Amino acid sequence: MVFDYIDGGAEDERTLRANEAAFAELTWRPRSAVVHPEVDLRTTVLGHELSLPVILAPVGSSRMFWPRGEAQAAAAAGEAGTVYTLSTLSGTRMEEVREASSGPCWYQLYLCGGREVGLEAVARAKACGYSALVVTIDTPVAGMRERDVRNGSAQLIARRFPDVVPFLPQVLVKPGWVLDFWRDGFPMDFPNILLPEGPMPYADIGAQLAAAAVSWDDVAWIAEAWDGPIVVKGVHTADDARRAVDVGASAVVVSNHGGRQLDGVAATLRVLPEVVAAVGDRVEVLLDGGVRRGGDVAKALALGARAVLVGRAYAYGLGAAGREGVAKAIDILRTELERTLKLLGCPSVHDLDASYLGPPAGWPAAPPERAAAAAR
């Protein structure tokens, strides 16, 4: 149930598969007989100097994967010189997570509990040093993640304990996980959603998200309350990208929630050129969805992204080996990205553009400045 919670997507998982397949559809056009013994992976996102253009995305319920999972992932991100993004729907206090990381941290806000509870979370995040607020706009309801229902994680998270009984055999063969989960405070709650009666318990997250649906008016007052960099995540069209900028976004994330919300939407890599063309000269454009290798990172940058967010790529590592597993996942992406640049004959991530790509027929046109570079 834990693996499928990480690995699965919504309904038939077509968008989940499309996110990954889109990277495979793009081919490279390398510069041969060009040698760069050292290549530069460093970049800047919202004023943060990062050692590589990879940010750890918000992944809810990470304590199911490893004890104090959010703090462990944040620590690994800080050591790697990049950003960790904490989800509202996490099981570790935001103060503990921020203290665990030596690097920058962002906080992803869901309005579970309503506006006043959200404002309190914003104040807490600012007080303990989160440097940007991420507002996700693609969850008016939770997607139907059928694997979670088939394999029991939905029932476990919702505390429908009688309904978990049929799934006990798969749990009992993992006594180490059961012991760790129990010692880590099972049944868990959401300590960053402070209701009048205390932290919000794990319950029906679908109902909570439906009650916390975010509108553009909400984004505007959240930006005013935060008074700092706002990242709008879940942008999938040029119109929404422009709307996000109009309400105060400093960056947008081209995202379909990793294929976990509306099944059947286009892969984020296919949408990226449209969003870059619309707002890339005004705000920083980031991408998530389907990034599994360093070469995927390079392709997103070549199409105009400033950096990518990864979720599953590090969540697998967290589930396998905790902090060390996350560090290993980041190191794999770093090594592959460095090797890709050297094989392309490209000295820096900032030099990646559409001229290094041979896009297949049917893809959106590259932004004008990148199309000009390709023509050269």
State the pLDDT at residue 204: 59
pLDDT tens-digit readout, 318-338: 999 999 999 999 999 999 999
CA torsion sign for 39, 80, 332, 15 is: negative
pLDDT over 90 at 161, yes or no:
no
Peptide bond preceding 187 in cis form (omega within 30 of 0): yes
**CA–CA separation, 105 and 46 (whole Å):** 12
pLDDT tens-digit readout, 222-253: 999 999 999 999 999 999 999 999 999 999 99
User: Of the candidates 50, 69, 55, 196, which has an alpha carbon nearest to the alpha carbon of residue 120?
Assistant: 196
* DSSP 8-state class, residue 113: T
**CA–CA separation, 112 and 202 (whole Å):** 12
- Region 184-201 average pLDDT: 85
- Region 74-81 average pLDDT: 98
pLDDT tens-digit readout, 84-97: 999 999 999 999 99
DSSP-assigned beta bridge partners for residue 48: 45
- Region 363-376 average pLDDT: 52
pLDDT tens-digit readout, 5-58: 999 999 999 999 999 999 999 999 999 999 999 999 999 999 999 999 999 999
State the pLDDT at residue 142: 84
pLDDT over 60 at 372, yes or no:
no
pLDDT over 90 at 185, yes or no:
no
**CA–CA separation, 287 and 350 (whole Å):** 16
Q: Token pair of 200, please?
A: 């919000």
pLDDT over 70 at 118, yes or no:
yes
**CA–CA separation, 305 and 239 (whole Å):** 18
Q: Give me the residue label for tokens 């890339």.
A: 280
State the pLDDT at residue 375: 40
81 vs 161, residue with greater confidence: 81
What is residue 86's three-state secondary structure? strand
Q: What's the longest Cα–Cα distance across the chain? A: 66
**CA–CA separation, 158 and 24 (whole Å):** 37
Average pLDDT over the chain, rounded to an integer:
91
Which of 48, 236, 257, 350 is the catalytic position? 257
pLDDT over 80 at 206, yes or no:
no
- 176 is in which domain, residue-wise? 2-375
Our CA angle for 164, 169, 172, nearest 5°, is 100
User: Of the candidates 319, 63, 30, which has an alpha carbon nearest to the alpha carbon of residue 189?
Assistant: 63
* DSSP 8-state class, residue 40: B
Residue 79: partners with Cβ closer than 8 Å, 6 or more residues away = 102, 103, 327
The rounded percent of the chain whose pLDDT value lies above 70 is 91
Q: Quick check: 22 and 363 in contact, CB under 8 A? A: no
Q: Give me the residue label for tokens 């916390």.
A: 212
Q: Give me the residue label for tokens 């975010």.
A: 214
Q: What is the CATH number of the domain that holds 201?
A: 3.20.20.70
pLDDT over 70 at 221, yes or no:
yes
Q: How far is CA 112 from the centre of its chain?
A: 19
* DSSP 8-state class, residue 303: T
The yes-or-no answer on residue 257 being catalytic is yes
State the pLDDT at residue 189: 85
**CA–CA separation, 137 and 235 (whole Å):** 7
State the pLDDT at residue 114: 87
> H or E segment at 162?
helix 161-164
The tally of domains found in the chain comes to: 1
**CA–CA separation, 205 and 153 (whole Å):** 12
Q: For residue 170, what pLDDT band results from cuts at 50, 70 and 90?
A: confident
State the pLDDT at residue 159: 62
State the pLDDT at residue 365: 61
The whole model's pTM is what? 0.92
DSSP-assigned beta bridge partners for residue 132: 106
State the pLDDT at residue 200: 85
pLDDT tens-digit readout, 245-302: 999 999 999 999 999 999 999 999 999 999 999 999 999 999 999 999 999 999 999 9
Q: Quick check: 11 and 194 in contact, CB under 8 A? A: no
Q: How many angstroms separate the Cα of 136 from the Cα of each of 172, 180, 307?
A: 36, 31, 17
